[in-house]
Amino acid sequence: MANRNDARTPNGWPEPTSEQVQVMLLGTYHMDNPGLDEVNVDADDVLVDRRQAELRDLVARVSEWNPDRVAVERPYDRNEAINDLYREYRSGGRAYDREETFPAPHSERSEPTTECRSEIVQVGFRLADHLGHERVAAIDEYPEEPDTDPFEDRDVDSSRKTDIELVDNDTVQRESDERLSSSTIPEYFAWINDKEERRENHDFMFDRGIRAADERFGSPLALAYWYDRNIRMVHHLWRTMDATDDRILFLVGAGHVRVLRHLLTEAPMFCPVSPLPYLPARDRDAEGVA
């Protein structure tokens, strides 16, 4: 394995061994507003000049880590189509700062859409292109969905012990929207990647999933579905990498960071890496950088 000197490791993140493949988990928001999450950030247009300059700054920052591969949150079975599109950007046939229309990547949306605004193109493709990579790795997979989901409103059993007060979705939505509107994209990435350490996403899912009062065992199965999907991502990371890859940067929705960090820590061939040392510095004491 190559021996490359890194920035300091934030507290709580493991130190890689020489045999492990390092995976930087770069949590992102969905820049093209697909509306598929429980909390959907109101993203402004990333094609405007100001945001394009910020995206180039973000790519320059994280490229200092010098990953061998860029993985993106798109279906593994669409690797060929994703890379056909990537090559169109890399060859100059399409431009990152220009409106481009092609089929939607999400099965929930059948109409053509401007995927050109997505983080997959604006960060994933742009970063791989900047690094001179010939391809990206699409590693997502959706297992067969359960009958229920942990975000669904349902009765919960509050008869035992004290009910835990959680941050409500409206508050998370408002805080995220305000933060994005007042920040540069690199600053917002620093905020959401630090924010995921505070486990709001998993607190909500596990609270609903474990305390659900129905007798169908639906919500625990939905939590298992969440882990199933993320385990498949880790599996596809291994399947898509080359034998010589030492470092993979995985651009993924920020809600996945906590579970992926755990899974990559458990998988002996991988070691998760924080992007925070490569993003704009906040209060380093608050971030807990060693």
Is residue 35 in some structural domain?
yes
For residues 67 and 248, what is the distance between their CA atoms, to the nearest angstrom? 5
For residues 122 and 187, what is the distance between their CA atoms, to the nearest angstrom? 16
Element holding 137 (H helix, E strand): strand 137-140
Is residue 30 in some structural domain?
yes
Is residue 126 in some structural domain?
yes
Is residue 6 in some structural domain?
no
Give Cβ neighbours of residue 232 (< 8 Å, ≥ 6 apart). Answer: 76, 140, 141, 143
Q: What is the pLDDT of residues 93-121, one digit of tens each?
A: 999 999 998 776 655 554 446 689 999 99
Q: How many domains does the chain have?
A: 1
How large a percentage of the chain has pLDDT more than 90? Answer: 57
Is residue 10 in some structural domain?
no
Q: What is the pLDDT of residues 9-61, one digit of tens each?
A: 777 899 999 999 999 999 999 998 765 555 667 889 999 999 999 999 999 99
Is residue 2 in some structural domain?
no
- Indicate if the pLDDT at residue 196 is higher than 70: no
Is residue 14 in some structural domain?
no
- Indicate if the pLDDT at residue 148 is higher than 80: no
Segments forming the whole domain that contains residue 229 = 21-287
Is residue 16 in some structural domain?
no
